Structure 1
Amino acid sequence: MDERIVEGLVDLGLSRYEARAYVSLFQQEPETAEGVATAAEVPKGRIYDVLNALTERSLVRSDDERPKTYTVVGAARAVDRLLETRLDELDEQRVDYERTAERLRRSLSSLETDESDAGFSTSAFHHDEARELLLDRFEAAEESIRIVVDEATARTEGDEELDELLRRRVDEGIEIRLLLVDAAERGSELNGEGFDVRVVDPDRQPEHRFAVIDGAEACIEVVRPVSPDRLLAVVDFRNNQPARELAETFEALWDAATPAEQGA
């Protein structure tokens, strides 16, 4: 018996005994329950339960003779039925998971404490981990996101994911300001989509890319010296002096900046 076929049927929802019985009937049908049990190596005490289960799935048919014999439904129809059933089960599981996730969001949110007086700093190293920290903090914003954007940012791998996240956050009511250093063409793409975009004063360009979240949190991006489109690290400051200073720095740069449509 081809165990690869058995494993495939198991993946589509059959028990191992059901799969072996089904495959054995393909190799020799019609067959009695006893014959199936022998060929499929299914315990005789279990074979009727197995064949009844296959019949209920419309994968096997039986006659009214004594002893009863069994035949299989064609391969294509059988596999399609198994696949349809499996996908329906997965859809139900997905709905259950989504409900569980929503309950967890509400429950975990109720456990969150006010961090207004509790300073906190963390960091993530290497590009993927640093990028994930940055996206996570943008996702957590409740009111506003301020980002210094330079040409390297526009080239950064995964930038499409960033744009998609920011567009969704705008749709959710988050105020987003983009301060362009040397990528005005990027600003023109995003301008008019709910983003407020300005070009920084050339005499006041910051040395590092950074972002400010809700006016009380700031992320500094540290890029690789020879690959400025790859992150070396992201340092996240929350509710402490560095965060407040970076928030003030952004506002000062913003006030001195030029609207993108005028500076392009």
Structure 2
Amino acid sequence: MASLRDLGLSEYETRVYRALLRTGPTTAKELSRASDVPMGRIYDVLNSIEGHDLVRSQTASRPKKYVAVEPDTALERLLEDKRREAEETLERYEELVDVLSDELESAEPVEEQFWTAAVGENETLDLLLERLAAADETVVMVVADRSPQFDLGAIGDVVTERLEAAVERGVDVSVLMTPEVVESLPGSVGERYRSRLSDHPAFSVRTTENLDGTFNLVDGTEVVLQVSNPLRPGEVFAVIDLKDPAFAAEIHEEFAPRWEEADPLSF
């Protein structure tokens, strides 16, 4: 059940504010009885909720009287307090992330061969997005088949958004697709390409008929390879992420001449 305590008030503060709504203007002594808050605590509680601008006091009267601010106004003020606290907390976390990012990235990279895999539509997309976000220098994306990476509008958008973010941080991105894949892209992807990426010197898209398989090369050392479902061709079964500079170099040797022969994309 919702409570004023969920918005930051203590139990005593909640009792006092609710009692004031019932009693109307009243003194601290009367309010102590109406709210069941001990007289020894009532002034501290009143000062606290007055600090939240939830009550107003009539200082000219003797004894001093208090009245509750209207509920809509009180709730909006409590919400604003929480919003401000959330923004301050977010800023602290962002500063912490910046510090930790510099600290963690200063560590020497591990050069040993390593591979991992993901199975399932959501898991394969998560792995692809993770590796695109990790790119520091180059991304080569080859898409020969329609797949969940680009088949659905929302997924195509999020992949393109991640490529755009890579370009903005200085990564060179090259995308090679078949004309059939281009035709299957949602309109929102084409619009993002035309408005934000087509003129960017670090982003290039070309098309060619001569493609087999769908994969990504990251920083010239890592291959993110799509594995098709043998029972349902065209559907992704898994994605394998292999960090192996020698294998990545071989893949790039096969990619380079096909890239040179491909046609620049025109939406």
Q: TM-score, normalised by structure 2?
A: 0.83
TM-fit CA distance, 1:11:
2.7
Report the RMSD for the aligned CA atoms in angstroms.
2.5
Corresponding letter in the other structure for 1:199 = T
The aligned counterpart of 2:204 is 196
Inter-partner Cα distance in structure 2 for 1:227 and 1:22: 65
- Amino acid in the other structure paired with 2:118: A
Superposed CA offset, 1:66-87 (max 9, x none): 4433211122222222222222
Q: Give the Cα–Cα distance (whole angstroms) in 1 for the partners of residues 205 and 66 of structure 2.
A: 72
Percent of aligned positions that are identical: 34
Map 1:1-264 → 2, pairs under 5 A: 4=2, 7=3, 9-64=4-59, 65-111=61-107, 113-115=108-110, 117-149=111-143, 150-152=145-147, 153-156=149-152, 157-181=154-178, 182-185=180-183, 186=185, 190=193, 192-194=198-200, 195-200=203-208, 202=209, 204-206=210-212, 208-224=213-229, 225-226=231-232, 228=234, 231-261=236-266
SS of residue paired to 1:243: helix
Further displaced range: 132-141 or 30-39: 30-39
8 Å contact from structure 2 (residues 221, 246) kept in 1: no
Summarize the Cα distance change of 1:184–1:79 in structure 2 as closer, same or farther, 3 Å threshold: closer
Aligned residue pair count: 251
Asked if the contact 2:132/2:218 (under 8 Å) is kept, the reply is yes
Q: CA deviation at 1:232?
A: 2.6
1:126 partner amino acid:
G
CA-CA distance at 1:227 after TM superposition: 7.3
- Distance (Å, rounded) in 2 between the aligned partners of 1:175 and 1:161: 18
- On the 8 A contact 1:120/1:240 being kept in 2, the answer is no
Q: Distance in 1 between matches of 2:243 and 2:260?
A: 23
The answer on whether the counterparts of 1:21 and 1:40 sit within 8 Å (CA) in structure 2 is: yes
Distance 2:84 2:173 in 1: 40
Aligned partners of 1:148 and 1:249: how far apart in 2? 12
CA contact (8 A) 2:146 2:234 kept: no
- Using the TM superposition, give the Cα deviation of residue 205 of structure 1 relative to its aligned residue in structure 2, in angstroms: 2.3
Matched letter for residue 145 of structure 1: V
Give 3-state SS (helix, strand or coil) of 2:130's partner.
helix
Aligned-pair CA distance for 1:14: 1.9
Q: When the two structures are superposed, what TM-score results if normalisation uses the length of structure 1?
A: 0.83
- Give, in whole Å, the separation in 1 of the partners of 2:123 and 2:71: 47
CA shift in 2, pair 1:180/1:60, >3 Å: same
Q: Which runs of 5+ in 2 are unaligned?
A: none
Measured at CA, do residues 184 and 81 of structure 1 come closer, stay the same or move farther in structure 2, by a change above 3 Å? closer
For 1:43, the aligned partner's letter is P
